[in-house]
Amino acid sequence: MARDLDRSRIRHVPLDKATALPTDGHWDVYADRWWCVDPEKGLLFYGKAPQCNSNEGIARKIQAKAYPDAELRFIERVYLRHDCGDYV
């Protein structure tokens, strides 16, 4: 990534919440992805953009350049609450 990231836009979702099977509502499901993960805070997002990729090589480049302190983990299923307002 050629540009510097605005670190104030980075947010986290706890891993235990993101991998728990939802019981109600609308959810986005990310299947078989390589995720940038802060071991203490959880999955990394830049704004609303999840920092993951289905291609391990691409995910490793993102992690190395933008999040060198994060770990890269393959996660089979991540469930994130869907905000219908994003599409209105």
pLDDT tens profile 41-68: 999 999 989 999 999 999 999 999 999 9
Supply the pTM of this predicted model.
0.85
Report domain extents, the chain.
Answer: 7-87
User: How far is residue 59 from each of residues 29, 37, 72, measured CA to CA in Å?
Assistant: 18, 11, 8
Phi and psi at residue 68, to the nearest 5°: -60, -20
